[in-house]
Amino acid sequence: MKGPKQKRGSRKKRLIVAMTGATGSIYGVRILETLRAIGGWETHLIVSDAGALNAWQDHRLSRKDLSKLADVTHNVRDVGAAISSGSYITHGMVIAPCSMKTLAAVAHGFSDNLVSRAADVILKERRRLVLMVREAPLNLAHLRNMVQVTEMGGIIFPPVPAFYSHAKTVDDLVNHAVGRVLDVFGVEHDRIVRWQGIKEPVSVNDEQAGKHR
């Protein structure tokens, strides 16, 4: 198994970031940017062919642009890469965004490329796997595959906007979703404004009561 060397005693944790062919490549991009800014993490990037297509379509980002954000980039066809073995220690993997096709592959252990193989390894090693799935509306196959991944220990994390955070820009919404995903991996970050409880609980009821009068 070939792979990047890591010095003995190195404290960097490894996180695999896969970008597949759903719209929403900004989520993968922001995860990589955040981990680089924080430091202490070694990122391993895999971009599927459709993932590259979407990064270009969404933001005019090329494979080269994406690679610059990661410490190591693996070819999606390289099923012999270090991350395709459980003996190569990683902290986990996030697929951001995750297409319904990759979701199906993960749900059924169909490891035909490095994204689905690396995810399969993460599940068999009982490490943390997060899928930022993106599709709407969802058919029964999508829903069943999400259940199956959840039953295997994976975490389905659709990037659904949280309006309670009073986001002012799309960037704020992206940061919130990314921040919550990084929480799952125990990454310490300041990407989000954390919920502190409702400050003015009465006004909601007053308003509703007024409307129905």
Ligand X SMILES: Cc1cc2nc3c(=O)[nH]c(=O)nc-3n(C[C@H](O)[C@H](O)[C@H](O)COP(=O)(O)O)c2cc1C
Interface residues with ligand X (CB under 6 A) are 20-23, 48, 50-51, 53-54, 57, 99-102, 134-135
Nearest to residue 97, comparing CAs of 22, 177, 16? 22
Least distance from C-beta 210 to ligand X, angstroms? 41
| CB nearer to ligand X: pick between 43 and 99 | 99
Reported for 200-209, long-range contacts at CB under 8 A and 24+ positions apart, including other chains, are none
Least distance from C-beta 107 to ligand X, angstroms? 12
| CB nearer to ligand X: pick between 54 and 90 | 54
| CB nearer to ligand X: pick between 24 and 187 | 24
CB closest to ligand X, residue no: 21
Q: Are 123 and 153 in contact (CB under 8 A)?
A: yes
Least distance from C-beta 151 to ligand X, angstroms? 21
Reported for 65-68, long-range contacts at CB under 8 A and 24+ positions apart, including other chains, are 66/19, 66/28, 66/29, 66/32
For 74, other C-beta atoms within 10 Å of its C-beta total: 23
| CB nearer to ligand X: pick between 19 and 187 | 19
